[in-house]
């Protein structure tokens, strides 16, 4: 044990084998550092079972110090941003010193820190602890352990903590807790209002929904899913998205243009003073209208009662017969229930995949519909096996989609090697991509090293060719619907391939549009999703966002940036107006700055792909031609990328669209 409290294990030569400071839990002691890549995670609360281990975390990034609530993805409820010029090539960290919590992002000790949080100087032993409620407290020994500082409280106030009043609750004044809507929510424990509330009638997708309006109510962390829209557009977007539980709207003096946030779960919400916050906030809580599920039956005749009883008995008998058939089919070996279909990719047995993955022991990651495991076939070829659970018996639509996806072959699409159906599980077998997904390489702080300009150009062209093939060269037009860096995989030579067709739509070539429910990833969704009528141009929009992120080396929304620069499309619009597109070039790569003129030309292509009116966007084959240098970018572009006044003409044709069911291959999607 060292003087500063570090428990160190050394080998016979005196070399350090293990030390406790490399494995922080929920505390820091004086002198201890928390490095980038490490995190403080509080233990389970002893008096509030609604919190769980891992809900909160404190982490250092290349942008500063952040406290997160562990949703998927994590949401920051506190940030101490630091401007970084990437001069520090060592590990970034925050250190608990006597009198401060000091951040060293670009600088190293003994230089002055890049930022600090003041702490009362120690008169005896101190330690710092991330509490189960998200507070970061400093304790000091004064005959007993006493709290001498609550570091985040002076910045946040009680109501800004995500679980200040639990889930589905409202925090007012001095942490006065109540249920959001007493008629629709009930307290988990009436004796402890801060335990949160639960829905009296849980939301279901096939019901009729409405909203309860709460004025001057907001959320702890607003990241706009849609910008510069009106209130009604925001509410309709939530109604069209089954996973959405509320629509939160922030606006200035004009409610016809504001930011819309669509959370999939609700922590604590809070009352706000519009005068003090310089903006207005409205929250629309989605509720289920039980009375509209069916009409009330009044004046029912005896004959109708008899008829209803007979029909009920018949339906019950049918259900019993179907259940018996289901049990019989379930007991059959899975191999017997699937016939050979021409054009089907290889059908693996469960035992083959179990052996290839060494009993599914090496997990590569977890996607929206299941875990992915690394494996090796008998021919020594490496594979990635995606496990999809809970899809029920093999059915014709599952087989048809496997046949369709398995029948397309292109150098820039990840190859589906085969599939397996075993009991209630489904497995998809893909080729293995050693360099992982694109997001590892383009965002600073999580990438392994910066990509050169030529490599980025190659990746961009590969993705464009893959999408052009899906849109224009297959027997049926395939719209991917979830184009994002996580779904672009890279092989050992950085050849890019489009992956994950779990949300894709297949439409006939004579169809120009299709109507579907909102799906995909916030930040990469095209504006026309608001009408639920989409074309392949939604993929073009997603490609435009990826292209812009690759050129700028940052995400579309980055809360660590100054407020006016957090939204990448706002920055793009401003730079177009000021003629300063070069200012957007990735400054963390000298090679990118060397080729800044080419990068700016590529930004013009991204702008074309990001036109608010989808009819103004190019096709992916046109994008390929521009990248190959045989076509010019459209010169008459609209640089207002988020103008809600531009209406999608396809809304008028909504009644003529052909609805398609959600993709069976990846399970239910919202």
Classify 241 as helix, strand or coil.
coil
How far CA 273 is from CA of 168, 216, 277, in Å, comes to 20, 7, 6
Contact between residue 243 and residue 670 where contact means Cβ atoms under 8 Å apart: yes
User: Which residue shows structure tokens 């999408």?
Assistant: 467
pLDDT at residue 540 tops 90: yes
- Of 651, 613, 652, nearest to 634 by C-alpha is 613
> Ranked by mean pLDDT, which of 82-96, 109-123, 342-356, 516-530 comes out on top?
109-123
Instruction: Report residue 37's pLDDT band, with 50, 70 and 90 as the boundaries.
Output: confident
Predicted pLDDT at 335: 44
Q: Which residues contact 251 (CB under 8 A, 6 or more apart)?
A: 231, 257, 258, 259, 279, 280
* Mean pLDDT to the nearest integer, 136-154: 91
pLDDT of residue 50: 45
Q: Which residue has the higher pLDDT, 318 or 529?
A: 318
Q: How far apart are alpha carbons 564 and 399 in whole angstroms?
A: 49
Here the tokens at position 451 are 């990509």
Q: What is the pLDDT of residue 18?
A: 86
List binding-site positions.
386
The pLDDT of residue 305 is 55
Highest mean pLDDT among 39-43, 209-213, 611-615: 209-213
Task: Give the pLDDT score at 330.
Answer: 56
Residue 237 burial class via C-beta count within 10 angstroms: exposed 0-12, middle 13-18, buried 19 and up: buried
pLDDT at position 395 = 46
For residues 451 and 502, give the distance between their C-alpha atoms in angstroms, rounded to a whole number: 29
Average pLDDT over residues 14-27: 87
Percentage of the chain with pLDDT > 90? 27
Q: What is the pLDDT of residue 179?
A: 92
Confidence of residue 369 (pLDDT cuts 50, 70, 90): low
Average pLDDT, the chain: 79
- Who's near 539: CB < 8 A, 6+ residues apart? 467, 470, 471, 479, 480, 481, 483, 620
Q: Please, which pLDDT band fits residue 109 given cuts at 50, 70 and 90?
A: confident
- Centroid of chain to Cα 309: 48
More confident residue, 359 or 395: 359
Alpha-carbon span 198 to 491, nearest angstrom: 46
Percent residues over pLDDT 70 in the chain: 78
Tens of pLDDT, residue by residue over 609-661, are: 999 888 899 999 999 999 998 889 988 888 887 644 333 333 333 333 333 33
Q: Hey, what domains does the chain have and what are their CATH numbers? A: 8-156 (2.90.10.10), 167-290 (no CATH), 340-431 (3.30.200.20), 439-656 (1.10.510.10)
Mean pLDDT (whole number) for 346-365: 88
Q: DSSP secondary structure string, 361-407?
A: T-EEEEETTEEEEEEE-TTS-EEEEEEE----S--HHHHHHHHHHHH
Q: Which residue has the tokens 């629509």?
A: 247
Burial (CB count within 10 angstroms: exposed 0-12, middle 13-18, buried 19+), residue 626: buried
CA angle in degrees (0–180, nearest 5) for 183-187-190: 120
Strand locations in 277-317, DSSP E? 280-288
> In the 8-state DSSP scheme, what is residue 437?
B
Q: DSSP secondary structure string, 609-666?
A: HT-SSGGGSPPHHHHHHHHTTSSPPPS-----TT-TTS--GGGGGGGG--B-PPPSTT
Residues annotated in a binding site for ATP: 386
Q: How far is CA 191 from CA 14, 177, 187, 201, 484, in A?
A: 57, 11, 9, 22, 46
What own/partner pairs with CB < 8 Å and gap ≥ 24 does 105-113 have?
A: 105/60, 105/62, 105/63, 105/64, 106/82
Q: For residue 655, what pLDDT is reported? A: 34
Q: Which residues are catalytic?
A: 482
Q: How far apart are CA 546 and CA 487, in angstroms?
A: 11
User: Average pLDDT in the 663-668 region?
Assistant: 34
pLDDT tens sequence across 543-586: 999 999 999 988 888 777 787 888 888 899 889 988 899 988 88
pLDDT for position 124: 92
Q: Which residue has the higher pLDDT, 650 or 14?
A: 14
Q: Are 389 and 376 in contact (CB under 8 A)?
A: no
Predicted local distance difference test score (pLDDT) of residue 532: 53
Higher pLDDT, 311 or 211: 211
Alpha-carbon distance of 20 to 2, in angstroms, equals 11
Record the tokens describing residue 599, joined without a space: 């990068």
If one compares 68 and 50, the residue with the highest pLDDT of the two is: 68
- At 531, the pLDDT band (50, 70, 90 cuts) reads low
Closest CA to 34 of 44, 25, 42, 43: 25
Confidence of residue 89 (pLDDT cuts 50, 70, 90): low
Judged against a pLDDT cut of 50, whether residue 183 lies above it is answered with: yes
Inter-axis angle of helices 596-609 and 620-627, to 10 degrees? 170
Q: Is the full-model pTM beyond 0.85?
A: no
Return the SS3 of 341: coil
Tokens of residue 363, six digits: 């997990």
């Amino acid at each position: 044990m060292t003087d500063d409290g570090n428990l160190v294990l050394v080998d016979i030569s005196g070399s350090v084998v293990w030390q406790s400071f490399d494995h922080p839990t929920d505390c820091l002691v004086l002198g201890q550092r928390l490095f980038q890549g490490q995190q403080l995670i509080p233990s389970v609360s002893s008096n509030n079972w609604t919190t769980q281990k891992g809900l909160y975390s404190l982490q250092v990034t290349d942008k500063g110090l952040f406290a997160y609530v562990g949703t998927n993805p994590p949401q920051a409820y506190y940030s101490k941003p630091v401007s970084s010029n990437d001069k520090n090539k060592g590990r970034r960290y925050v250190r608990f010193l006597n009198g401060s919590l000091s951040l060293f992002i670009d600088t190293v000790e003994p230089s002055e820190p890049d930022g600090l949080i003041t702490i009362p100087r120690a008169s005896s032993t101190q330690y710092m602890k991330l509490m189960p409620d998200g507070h970061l407290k400093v304790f000091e020994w004064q005959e007993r352990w006493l709290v001498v500082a609550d570091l985040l409280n002076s910045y946040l106030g009680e109501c800004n903590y995500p679980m200040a009043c639990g889930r589905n609750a409202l925090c007012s004044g001095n942490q006065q807790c109540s249920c959001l809507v007493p008629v629709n929510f009930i307290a988990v424990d009436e004796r402890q209002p801060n335990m949160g509330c639960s829905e009296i009638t849980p939301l279901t997708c096939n019901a009729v929904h409405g909203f309860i309006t709460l004025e001057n109510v907001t959320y702890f962390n607003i990241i706009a899913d849609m910008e510069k829209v009106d209130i009604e557009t925001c509410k309709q977007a939530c109604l069209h998205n089954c996973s959405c539980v509320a629509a939160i709207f922030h606006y200035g003096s004009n409610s016809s243009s504001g930011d819309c946030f669509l959370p999939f779960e609700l922590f604590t919400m809070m009352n706000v003073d519009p005068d003090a916050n310089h903006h207005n906030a409205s929250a629309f809580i989605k509720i289920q209208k039980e009375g509209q599920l069916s009409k009330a039956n009044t004046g029912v005749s005896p004959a109708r009662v008899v008829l209803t009883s007979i029909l009920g008995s018949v339906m019950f008998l049918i259900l019993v017969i179907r259940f018996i058939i289901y049990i019989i089919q379930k007991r059959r070996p899975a191999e017997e229930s699937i016939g050979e279909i021409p054009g089907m990719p290889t059908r693996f047995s469960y035992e083959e995949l179990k052996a290839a993955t060494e009993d599914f022991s090496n997990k590569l990651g977890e996607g929206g519909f299941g875990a992915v495991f690394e494996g090796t076939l008998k021919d020594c070829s490496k594979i990635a096996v995606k496990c999809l659970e809970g899809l029920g018996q093999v059915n014709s639509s599952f087989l048809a989609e496997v046949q369709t996806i398995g029948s397309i072959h292109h150098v820039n699409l990840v190859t589906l090697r085969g599939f397996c159906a075993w009991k209630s599980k489904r497995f998809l077998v893909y080729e293995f991509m050693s360099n992982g997904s694109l997001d590892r390489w383009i965002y600073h702080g999580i990438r392994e090293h910066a990509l050169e300009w030529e490599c980025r150009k190659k990746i961009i062209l590969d993705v464009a060719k893959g999408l052009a093939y899906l849109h224009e060269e297959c027997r049926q037009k395939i719209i991917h619907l979830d184009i994002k860096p996580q779904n672009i995989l890279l092989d050992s030579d950085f050849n890019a391939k489009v992956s994950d067709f779990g949300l894709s739509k297949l439409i006939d070539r004579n169809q120009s549009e299709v109507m579907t429910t909102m799906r995909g990833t916030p930040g990469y969704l095209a504006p026309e999703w608001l009408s639920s009528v989409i074309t392949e141009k939604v993929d073009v929009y997603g490609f435009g966002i990826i292209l812009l992120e690759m050129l700028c080396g940052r995400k579309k929304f980055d809360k660590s940036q100054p407020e006016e620069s957090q939204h990448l499309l706002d920055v793009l619009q401003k730079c177009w107006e000021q003629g300063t597109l070069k200012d957007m070039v990735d400054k963390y790569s000298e090679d990118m700055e060397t080729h800044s003129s080419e990068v700016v030309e590529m930004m013009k292509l991204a702008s074309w792909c990001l036109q608010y009116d989808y009819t103004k966007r190019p096709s992916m084959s046109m994008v390929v031609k521009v990248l190959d240098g045989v076509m010019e970018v459209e010169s008459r572009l609209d640089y207002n990328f988020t103008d809600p006044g531009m209406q999608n003409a396809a809304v008028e044709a909504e009644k003529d669209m052909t609805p398609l069911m959600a993709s069976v291959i990846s399970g239910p999607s919202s």
